[in-house]
Amino acid sequence: KAGVTQTPRYLIKTRGQQVTLSCSPISGHRSVSWYQQTPGQGLQFLFEYFSETQRNKGNFPGRFSGRQFSNSRSEMNVSTLELGDSALYLCASSLEGGLSNQPQHFGDGTRLSIL
C-alpha cells in the first residue's frame, strides 16, 4: 500500500511569490492535515481537511490556505512568501478524524526555501 505522497520534495522561491504544494493521502484515507516544521517552532498544525471541507485551522495567517478534492488529494497554497515561511511542510493522512482515534501517517514532506 503506497504511503502519503507529497510533491514536490524541494522548492526554492523568492519573497513575494506564491507556492502550491500537493499531497496524496494513503488510499482510503479521508482526512488530510498539514503541518509546518521549523527548528525554532517545531511541528505546528496548519489545517485539516475532511470530505473536501476544512475542519480545523491552526494559528497561521490567511496567506496559508488549502483545499481538498473529491479523491481526498489536498493542496496547500502560500501567497506572498516571506523569509520566515522557509520550513518543511508535512502532510499527514488518517482514515478519518473527529471521533475516531485513527493515527496520522506522514509523507516525506516538501522542503521550501525562501530566498
Q: Which of 19/33 has CB closer to another protein?
A: 33
Closest approach, Cβ 35 to another protein, in A, equals 8
Is the bond preceding residue 61 a cis peptide, omega within 30 degrees?
A: no
Q: Which of 54/71 has CB closer to another protein?
A: 54
- Nearest CA to 50 out of 93, 7, 21 is that of 93
Site pattern 9..28 for another protein (x: CB under 8 A): --------------------
101 near another protein, judged by CB under 8 A: yes
The DSSP code sequence of 74-114 is: EEEEE-S--GGG-EEEEEEEES--TT--PPPEE---EEEEE
Round to whole Å and give the CA distance between 15 and 19.
11
Closest approach, Cβ 86 to another protein, in A, equals 15
Binding residues (CB under 8 A) for another protein: these are 31-33, 35, 42-45, 48, 50, 55-56, 58, 88, 90, 92, 94, 97-101, 103-109
